[in-house]
Amino acid sequence: MKEFLSLGMVAVIALGGVVLFPAQTQARGILDQTAPSWGINQWINLPKGVESLDIGDYKGKVIYFYGFQSWCPGCHRTGFPTLKEVMKHFKGDEAVAFVAVQTTFEGFSANGFTQAKKTAARYDLKIPVGQSGEAGNPSEFMRRYRSGGTPWTVIIGPDGTVRYNDFHITTKEAIALMTHLKTKSE
Protein backbone atom coordinates (compact mmCIF):
# COMPACT_ATOMS: atom_id res chain seq x y z
CA MET A 1 0.00 0.00 0.00
CA LYS A 2 2.55 2.58 1.02
CA GLU A 3 5.47 3.46 -1.17
CA PHE A 4 8.66 4.30 0.67
CA LEU A 5 11.48 6.24 -0.90
CA SER A 6 13.47 5.39 2.17
CA LEU A 7 12.95 2.56 4.60
CA GLY A 8 15.09 4.36 7.17
CA MET A 9 13.75 6.33 10.08
CA VAL A 10 13.91 10.08 10.34
CA ALA A 11 14.38 11.74 13.72
CA VAL A 12 11.87 14.56 13.99
CA ILE A 13 11.78 15.85 17.55
CA ALA A 14 13.33 15.19 20.92
CA LEU A 15 11.15 14.91 23.99
CA GLY A 16 13.08 13.17 26.71
CA GLY A 17 15.04 11.36 24.01
CA VAL A 18 14.77 11.07 20.26
CA VAL A 19 11.34 10.30 18.89
CA LEU A 20 11.45 8.63 15.49
CA PHE A 21 8.91 8.97 12.72
CA PRO A 22 8.83 6.93 9.52
CA ALA A 23 10.32 8.72 6.55
CA GLN A 24 7.55 10.18 4.43
CA THR A 25 7.49 9.82 0.69
CA GLN A 26 7.58 13.10 -1.20
CA ALA A 27 5.61 11.60 -4.10
CA ARG A 28 2.47 12.13 -2.03
CA GLY A 29 1.35 14.61 0.54
CA ILE A 30 2.05 18.29 1.02
CA LEU A 31 4.37 18.16 4.01
CA ASP A 32 5.59 21.56 5.25
CA GLN A 33 3.15 23.44 3.02
CA THR A 34 0.27 25.68 4.08
CA ALA A 35 -2.85 23.57 4.55
CA PRO A 36 -5.39 24.34 1.80
CA SER A 37 -9.15 24.47 2.14
CA TRP A 38 -10.67 21.01 2.63
CA GLY A 39 -13.42 21.32 0.00
CA ILE A 40 -15.96 19.28 1.99
CA ASN A 41 -19.66 20.12 2.05
CA GLN A 42 -21.35 17.13 3.75
CA TRP A 43 -20.94 16.89 7.53
CA ILE A 44 -22.35 15.32 10.67
CA ASN A 45 -21.59 16.16 14.31
CA LEU A 46 -21.14 19.86 13.68
CA PRO A 47 -21.61 22.35 16.50
CA LYS A 48 -25.14 23.73 16.77
CA GLY A 49 -25.82 26.38 14.13
CA VAL A 50 -22.78 25.44 12.02
CA GLU A 51 -23.42 24.05 8.53
CA SER A 52 -19.88 23.49 7.27
CA LEU A 53 -16.27 23.49 8.44
CA ASP A 54 -12.93 24.30 6.91
CA ILE A 55 -9.32 24.82 7.91
CA GLY A 56 -9.91 28.46 8.91
CA ASP A 57 -12.36 27.40 11.62
CA TYR A 58 -9.44 25.89 13.56
CA LYS A 59 -6.95 28.74 13.39
CA GLY A 60 -4.31 28.45 16.12
CA LYS A 61 -5.09 24.80 16.92
CA VAL A 62 -3.25 21.58 16.24
CA ILE A 63 -5.53 19.56 13.94
CA TYR A 64 -5.59 15.77 13.60
CA PHE A 65 -7.39 15.10 10.33
CA TYR A 66 -8.22 11.46 9.59
CA GLY A 67 -9.22 10.31 6.07
CA PHE A 68 -10.95 6.94 5.78
CA GLN A 69 -13.21 4.79 3.65
CA SER A 70 -15.91 2.68 5.28
CA TRP A 71 -14.78 -0.45 3.44
CA CYS A 72 -11.05 0.02 4.16
CA PRO A 73 -9.67 -2.83 6.33
CA GLY A 74 -6.59 -0.78 7.33
CA CYS A 75 -8.84 2.04 8.49
CA HIS A 76 -10.62 -0.29 10.90
CA ARG A 77 -7.53 -2.25 11.92
CA THR A 78 -5.18 0.69 12.64
CA GLY A 79 -6.59 4.09 11.64
CA PHE A 80 -9.67 4.29 13.84
CA PRO A 81 -7.98 2.72 16.89
CA THR A 82 -5.15 5.26 16.58
CA LEU A 83 -7.62 8.13 16.17
CA LYS A 84 -9.56 7.01 19.27
CA GLU A 85 -6.41 6.69 21.41
CA VAL A 86 -5.06 10.07 20.35
CA MET A 87 -8.47 11.64 21.02
CA LYS A 88 -8.51 10.05 24.46
CA HIS A 89 -5.05 11.44 25.24
CA PHE A 90 -6.04 15.01 24.29
CA LYS A 91 -9.60 14.89 25.68
CA GLY A 92 -10.65 18.34 26.85
CA ASP A 93 -7.57 20.05 25.38
CA GLU A 94 -8.86 23.20 23.66
CA ALA A 95 -5.59 23.61 21.72
CA VAL A 96 -6.26 20.41 19.73
CA ALA A 97 -9.03 19.57 17.25
CA PHE A 98 -10.06 16.32 15.55
CA VAL A 99 -11.83 15.90 12.22
CA ALA A 100 -12.58 12.71 10.25
CA VAL A 101 -13.63 12.58 6.61
CA GLN A 102 -14.50 9.73 4.33
CA THR A 103 -12.29 10.40 1.33
CA THR A 104 -13.93 8.36 -1.40
CA PHE A 105 -11.97 7.67 -4.56
CA GLU A 106 -13.33 4.19 -5.37
CA GLY A 107 -16.18 1.93 -4.29
CA PHE A 108 -18.58 4.84 -4.35
CA SER A 109 -21.65 2.75 -3.51
CA ALA A 110 -19.92 1.32 -0.42
CA ASN A 111 -18.29 4.58 0.70
CA GLY A 112 -21.07 7.16 0.55
CA PHE A 113 -22.31 9.63 3.14
CA THR A 114 -24.75 7.09 4.63
CA GLN A 115 -21.86 4.68 5.25
CA ALA A 116 -19.73 7.49 6.70
CA LYS A 117 -22.49 8.19 9.24
CA LYS A 118 -22.71 4.49 10.14
CA THR A 119 -18.93 4.26 10.53
CA ALA A 120 -18.92 7.35 12.77
CA ALA A 121 -21.63 5.74 14.92
CA ARG A 122 -19.71 2.44 15.05
CA TYR A 123 -16.71 4.23 16.56
CA ASP A 124 -18.84 6.58 18.68
CA LEU A 125 -17.20 9.60 17.07
CA LYS A 126 -18.49 12.87 18.51
CA ILE A 127 -16.13 14.90 16.31
CA PRO A 128 -17.06 16.45 12.95
CA VAL A 129 -17.22 13.74 10.28
CA GLY A 130 -17.52 14.64 6.62
CA GLN A 131 -17.81 13.10 3.19
CA SER A 132 -15.51 14.02 0.30
CA GLY A 133 -16.10 12.27 -3.00
CA GLU A 134 -18.88 10.60 -4.93
CA ALA A 135 -19.30 8.77 -8.22
CA GLY A 136 -17.94 10.93 -11.02
CA ASN A 137 -16.36 13.33 -8.51
CA PRO A 138 -13.57 11.70 -6.47
CA SER A 139 -12.48 13.27 -3.19
CA GLU A 140 -11.48 16.92 -3.53
CA PHE A 141 -9.64 16.67 -0.20
CA MET A 142 -7.44 13.89 -1.60
CA ARG A 143 -6.53 16.01 -4.60
CA ARG A 144 -5.70 19.08 -2.53
CA TYR A 145 -3.64 17.18 0.05
CA ARG A 146 -2.20 14.70 -2.46
CA SER A 147 -3.16 11.74 -0.30
CA GLY A 148 -2.40 8.26 -1.50
CA GLY A 149 -5.47 6.44 -0.25
CA THR A 150 -6.76 5.38 3.15
CA PRO A 151 -6.19 5.37 6.02
CA TRP A 152 -4.60 8.80 5.66
CA THR A 153 -3.61 11.12 8.50
CA VAL A 154 -2.84 14.82 8.28
CA ILE A 155 -1.55 16.74 11.29
CA ILE A 156 -1.64 20.50 10.89
CA GLY A 157 0.23 22.85 13.22
CA PRO A 158 -1.31 25.92 14.85
CA ASP A 159 0.34 28.07 12.16
CA GLY A 160 -1.65 26.23 9.45
CA THR A 161 1.33 24.26 8.13
CA VAL A 162 1.00 20.54 7.35
CA ARG A 163 3.41 18.72 9.68
CA TYR A 164 2.38 15.12 8.91
CA ASN A 165 0.61 13.91 5.78
CA ASP A 166 0.91 10.20 5.13
CA PHE A 167 -0.47 6.73 5.69
CA HIS A 168 -0.31 5.14 9.15
CA ILE A 169 1.01 7.00 12.16
CA THR A 170 1.25 5.29 15.53
CA THR A 171 -0.50 6.65 18.60
CA LYS A 172 2.84 7.40 20.24
CA GLU A 173 4.15 9.26 17.17
CA ALA A 174 0.96 11.31 16.80
CA ILE A 175 0.86 12.28 20.49
CA ALA A 176 4.55 13.25 20.49
CA LEU A 177 4.24 15.37 17.34
CA MET A 178 1.01 17.05 18.42
CA THR A 179 2.37 17.79 21.90
CA HIS A 180 5.48 19.31 20.34
CA LEU A 181 3.43 21.47 17.96
CA LYS A 182 1.08 22.56 20.73
CA THR A 183 3.92 23.40 23.13
CA LYS A 184 5.87 25.24 20.44
CA SER A 185 2.93 27.60 19.85
CA GLU A 186 2.32 28.45 23.52
- pLDDT at position 179: 97
> 104 or 89, which is more confident?
89
Give the pairing type, strands 96-103 and 62-68.
parallel
| Confidence band of 130 (pLDDT split at 50, 70, 90) | very high
Tens of pLDDT, residues 38-58: 999 899 999 999 999 999 999
* Rounded distance between C-alpha atoms, residue 119 and residue 68, angstroms: 10
Whats the size of the chain, residue-wise? Answer: 186
Give pLDDT, residue 111.
86
9 against 182, higher pLDDT: 182
Give the mean pLDDT of 108-123: 93
How much of the chain, in percent, has pLDDT values that exceed 70?
Answer: 85
Rounded CA-CA distance 26/103 in Å is: 20
Whether 10 has a pLDDT exceeding 70, the answer reads no
- Whether the per-residue pLDDT at 64 is higher than 70: the answer is yes
| For residues 97-121, average pLDDT | 92
* Alpha-carbon gap, residue 146 to 27, rounded angstroms: 9
Q: Greater confidence, 9 or 62?
A: 62
Summarize the confidence of residues 89-109 as an average pLDDT: 93
Provide mean pLDDT across the span 101-129. 93
pLDDT of residue 186: 62
Q: Helix or strand or coil: residue 140?
A: helix
